[in-house]
Structure 1
Amino acid sequence: MPVRGKFEGDLKELQHKLTELVKFADQALANSIEALETHNIELALQIMEDDTVANILYEEINEFAVLLIAKQQPVAIDLRRIIIAIKIATDVERIADFAVNIAKSTIRIGQEPHLKPIDHLKKMHEITSIMLKEGLIAYQQEDTKLAKKVAEMDDQVDSLYGETIKELFKLNNEKSDNLPQITQMLFICRFLERAADHVTNIAEYVFYLVKGKHYDLNE
């Protein structure tokens, strides 16, 4: 096989590994919200146990990328493709960590009934999941228009975050006994908001990949 053909095949393999990591993180986040909504402690524990999968995939991506750079000595655009894959993997692995953090908060809440419906949290997750899926497509297709759309969706998550924080503080002011659960809900809200920020980073990497310069899409 010609050298270029082998290299393009390796790049596709790198993308495949990254896709696996994205799918895992997306499912872990979905499971964490399901565990929260249903008070499913067993599912929360499973999320924590399964996190090693994300860590292994992350290490595989890094090792494969470094090997590609060392063996192929890629030109500028190909080097950017490899480096961006590493950066995206770092952000996606962090999203998987947030799923674990939500699972831990769910365990701390236990079977205690929720003080308020978690509709805002579920909506934040729904938007973040869409962002993550479309962010991956934007990377794979090197589509800056889609990347910009993904970044703009973060505003919706930020808005829901602000509303939810206000509601939780109001609940705490009404009755101080609510504090333990409210604290965990505040953490969960923050984890989801940060997950969306990490997806916005992915959108920014797409711009860097295509344009060769950095753009701040999270202003």
Structure 2
Amino acid sequence: MAQEHTVKAFDEDITRLRGLIAEMGGLAEVALNEAIEALIKGNEQLANGVIARDKKIDALEAEIDRLAVRIIALRAPMADDLREVIAALKIAGVLERIGDYGKNIAKSAMRVENRRKFEPLTLIPAMAEIAGEMVHDVMTAFAARDPVLAREVVHADEKVDAFYDSIFRNLVSHMMENPASITSAAELLFVARNVERIGDHATNVAEMVYFAATGTYLTDRDDRQEG
């Protein structure tokens, strides 16, 4: 009877942990989407909302940390279960960083002047859409323990990097031709860099999900051999 109670309590803790990770990932995804919308429209209210909600993401990370430590200390999980708890602990830290990047973009959104003059403003939303899909897909992969979807997220990062390279070249050329716009162009470059980092972090989460699901690491060499 005591064994059944322990197993039930452990399952409840794991379910709670997964739920917190899912909530945190959802907030991080929304932060990116709304920060980009604020950038495009120059919507200060939307940007301020993103900045304010970052505290919720931080609070969720702290709650996940406490729960994961408690599970390890009290439930002594092994094998697959231990990998999942450790992965959740690491993923929470990465999602907190993604939330920070969304906050950074929201802050930059209000510093861009004459936004209609910048061609990269047509490229950054497309880049951010891919990065947002990566965050969404990697959270789906975590919930389903799906290593195949996790691998697809890793591949998608190449598209984000290609966008960043294109935007970087475009903005440098724009700054050289329009010295008066250097400040705003630099803010857009900062935005693009933050989106690129979100893609990198989604890739990191995908690698953790892959490990939690399979017990093996998804290295570049292994990925090429399997893909």
Scaled to the shorter chain, the TM-score interval is over 0.9
The equivalent of 1:88 in structure 2 is 91
Bigger mean CA offset, 42-51 vs 143-152: 42-51
The equivalent of 1:129 in structure 2 is 132
For 1:189 and 1:155, the matched residues in 2 are separated by 15
Aligned length: 218
Where does structure 1 differ by over 4 angstroms across 4 or more consecutive aligned residues? none
* Offset of residue 169 of structure 1: 0.7
Q: How does 1:28-39 map to 2 (within 5 A)?
A: 28-39=31-42
Unaligned runs of 5+ in 1: none
* Offset of residue 173 of structure 1: 1.2
Correspondence 1:99 to 2:102: yes
Q: Deviations over 1:160-188 (max 9, x none)?
A: 11111111111111121111011000000
The equivalent of 2:68 in structure 1 is 65
Q: What amino acid is aligned across from residue 44 of structure 1 in structure 2?
A: A
| Alignment TM-score, normalising by the size of structure 2 | 0.91
Correspondence 1:112 to 2:114: yes
The equivalent of 1:147 in structure 2 is 150
Q: What amino acid is aligned across from residue 193 of structure 1 in structure 2?
A: E
**Aligned-pair RMSD on alpha carbons?**
1.6
Correspondence 1:14 to 2:21: no
Q: What amino acid is aligned across from residue 142 of structure 2 in structure 1?
A: Y
* Offset of residue 112 of structure 1: 3.1
Q: How does 1:182-193 map to 2 (within 5 A)?
A: 182-193=185-196
For 1:195 and 1:100, the matched residues in 2 are separated by 12
Correspondence 1:203 to 2:206: yes
Q: Deviations over 1:82-135 (max 9, x none)?
A: 0100111111111110011001111222x5334324121111111111111111
Correspondence 1:213 to 2:212: no
SS at match of 2:117: coil
* Offset of residue 80 of structure 1: 0.8
Contact persistence 2:22–2:143 (CA under 8 A): no
For 1:43 and 1:78, the matched residues in 2 are separated by 39
For 1:136 and 1:94, the matched residues in 2 are separated by 15
SS at match of 2:203: helix
For 2:176 and 2:100, the matched residues in 1 are separated by 31
For 1:165 and 1:140, the matched residues in 2 are separated by 35
For 1:181 and 1:206, the matched residues in 2 are separated by 38
